[in-house]
Structure 1
Amino acid sequence: MSVKWEGIMPAVTTKFNDDDTLDFAMFETNLKAQLDAGVHGIVLGGTLGEASTLTESEKRSLTKSTVDMVKGKVPVMITLAEQSTKAAVKAANMAEEDGASGLMMLPPMRYKSTDRETLEFFNSVAINTSLPIMVYNNPVDYKIEITHKMFDELLKHDNIEAVKESTRNTMNITRIKNRFGDRLKIMTGVDTIAFESMVLGADGWVAGLVCAFPEETVAMYELIKAGQIKEALDIHRWFMPLFELDIVPELVQNIKLAEVYTGLGTENVRAPRLPLIGDERKFAIKTIEESLKTRPALPDYKNL
C-alpha cells in the first residue's frame, strides 16, 4: 500500500498484559476506535509504543498483527530506532517482509552522529528498502538535527518522502514548504503545537493523545482542512491540558492512564517504566477528569 502522508496518524501505545506479554485483545480494541474515528494511518513502535523495550520478535508480531487487523484500510508504519546502520537496514527489510506500508526513521540512537554520518545512515536504509520513509526530526529529544541542507541530499532518494517535524519551531513549516514544496510532506509531531502547525500548512499530524481521544483529534484535523478554524481552535483549547501530558518524560504513563479513562487501554507499562504514583499521578488524574467533564460536542466532521 502506498502512503499518503497526510491526516491523523496515531503513534499508538503498545498494550501489555499483567504478565508483561503483548495484549493483542486490548490493542485491537484501541485500534478499532482509531479506525472508527477516521484516522489516516497507524504508527507502531515509537516512543509511545515503548519500542526500546520490545524484542525483535515482539516488534515483528506487532507489525504482522496490526497489518492483519487493519485489513488495508490505512497504511501501517513501523518505527526504525536503531543503534547501528546494519541493524537499521535489517529492521527495514523485516518491516517490508512483515507487510508494513512505510517507515518512520530516527537518526542513530545513543551515538550522536555527525551530519555526514547521519546522512550515510539514512542513505543506507533508503537504498536497501522500497518502503517509503518519513524522517523523524526531533533534535530536542534525540540531540541530532536533520537540517534543511541535509534534506537537499536525502531527497535524492525517491522513497524519502516525509518528515515528522518535531523541532518545536513552527517557522520550519513555512521554510520547508518554501524550499521543497510538496516534495517533502510534513507531519507535525508535537501535540501542543499541532493546531498552529496544520494551519501553517503541515500535511498531517503524528499524534499522541489520539490514543485516548481519537474522535476529537480527527475532528480537529478535518475542521482545519475544511477552513473551520474557529471550531478547530475550540477543540484545541479544550485539548491543551491533555496535550501537555505528552511533553514530559512520563508521557507514556500519562497517555496510558488517559486510555484507561476512555476505555481504550490499561496502565500496564514495561520496566524500567513504572505506573504513575504520588503527585504525578494525582495531577494526571485531575487533568484527565476535568477534561472529561468538559468534553466538547463534535460536529459531523466526517462529512464536512
Structure 2
Amino acid sequence: MELGQIGTAMVTPFAKNGAIDFDLTEKLIEHLIATGTDSLIVCGTTGESPTLNHVEKSAIVKYAVEIVRKRIPVIAGTGTFNTAESVKLTKQAEQLGADGVMLVTPYYNKPDQRGMVAHFAHIASETKLPILLYNIPGRSAVNMQAETVIELSKIHNIRAVKEASGSLDQMAAIINGTDAGFKVYSGDDALTLPLMAVGGDGVISVASHVVGLEMQQMIKAFQAGDITEAAKMHRILLPVFNAIFSAPNPVPVKYALNKLGIETGGVRMPLTDFGKESETFDAVWNAFKKHDMLLP
C-alpha cells in the first residue's frame, strides 16, 4: 500500500442544510492534491463518519474516486464495531474503485486482543483490497497492542497501521516486529517527525488540510539528513498541530479551512462549531504565519 508520507484524513464538506456538498468536495480534493497530500482517506473520523449513513458513505467514496482519477490513492474508511457491517462496507468500497480500506478498532463493544484478530482477519479474507489498520484508543476505548498488529501484519493484504495510541514505544515495537513492507503511520500530527526518526513511514494527517506543504518540507528535510532544519520546522508547526486538536476533531480544521477560503461548511451535531475558542486558534495561526517556513 503506497500511501506516501502524508495521507490526509479528509473532512466532509456540508452545505447549509447539512447535506454533503459535492462541489465543495471537489474543490477540497484539488486543494489537498496541490498542497502535498500523497493519499486521501475518506469517511474516517475527520470525515465525521459517525454521522454519515451508508448511502452517504458510498456516495463520498464514489465521488472521490471519480475526482481523483488515480492521481493519488483513495482509501475508504469502512471499519465499524460490527464485523458483518464492516465487510459489507468494504465490499462496496472495492466495487466503487477505492484503492484500499481503513479499518478502525471496534469501538463501544470493546473486544479483547483475540477478538480484534478475529475481526480484522475475517474482513481481510473477504476483500482483495489492501488494508490500513487504525488504532485509536481515545475513541474506541481499546488499545490494539503491538503484538496484535504484528500478528495481523502476516495476513497478506493487511499492509499498514495508523497508530493513534500516542505511544512511540508501541510504534517502535510494531516497526521492530513487522517486515519491511509493512508501513507504520502516526495518527497524531505532532508525532510525525518523532515516528519517522524511529523508522516510521509518515502520518495520516488532519493538519495537512492547511499546512500540507510545510509538513512535506519538514519530511524532506529529515529524509535529506538535515535533522536540525527538520527539528526546527517541527517546533514551528507544533502549535498549529495542537490548535488543530484544541476542540473535537474536525471542528478546528473546518474552521481553519473556511478561514482560508476553502469552504467546507460546518459540522453535524452532536458536534458544534467554534465559539470563542476561535480567538485562541486565530492567535496561534497568526503567529505561525510570521514564520517563513518553506525552503527555497
Other-structure match for 1:73:
71
- Select 2:286's aligned residue among 285, 289, 292: 289
Equivalent residue runs for 1:47-196 within 5 Å? 47-196=45-194
* Whole-angstrom CA distance in 2 between matches of 1:153 and 1:241: 36
* Whole-angstrom CA distance in 2 between matches of 1:172 and 1:46: 22
Other-structure match for 1:299:
295
* Whole-angstrom CA distance in 2 between matches of 1:295 and 1:15: 29
TM-score by length of 1: 0.91
SS of match in other structure, 1:16: coil
* Whole-angstrom CA distance in 2 between matches of 1:5 and 1:225: 16
Other-structure match for 1:202:
200
Alpha-carbon shift at residue 267 of structure 1 (Å): 4.3
Other-structure match for 1:217:
215
Q: CA offsets, 1:52-81, max 9 Å, x none?
A: 111111111111111111111110001123
Cα pair 1:220 1:236 within 8 Å, conserved: yes
Q: Taking structure 1 as reference, are residues 263 and 220 closer, same or farther at Cα in structure 2, changes over 3 Å only? A: farther
Instruction: Give the % identical residues.
Output: 27
Other-structure match for 1:245:
243
* Whole-angstrom CA distance in 2 between matches of 1:47 and 1:99: 21
| Structural RMSD (CA) | 1.7
Other-structure match for 1:12:
10
SS of match in other structure, 2:178: helix
Aligned residue pairs, count: 296
Cα pair 1:78 1:100 within 8 Å, conserved: yes
Aligned partner of 1:298: which letter?
Answer: L
Alpha-carbon shift at residue 85 of structure 1 (Å): 0.8
Alpha-carbon shift at residue 266 of structure 1 (Å): 3.5
SS of match in other structure, 1:163: strand
Equivalent residue runs for 1:221-240 within 5 Å? 221-240=219-238
TM-score by length of 2: 0.94
* Whole-angstrom CA distance in 1 between matches of 2:219 and 2:210: 16
* Whole-angstrom CA distance in 2 between matches of 1:33 and 1:222: 20
Q: Which runs of 4+ in 1 moved over 3 A?
A: 246-249
Q: CA offsets, 1:183-241, max 9 Å, x none?
A: 42111110112121112211121011111222112222222222222222222212111
SS of match in other structure, 1:168: coil
Alpha-carbon shift at residue 248 of structure 1 (Å): 4.3
SS of match in other structure, 2:286: helix
Alpha-carbon shift at residue 295 of structure 1 (Å): 4.1
Cα pair 2:42 2:61 within 8 Å, conserved: yes
Unaligned runs of 5+ in 2: none
Deviates more, 1:142-151 or 1:155-164: 142-151
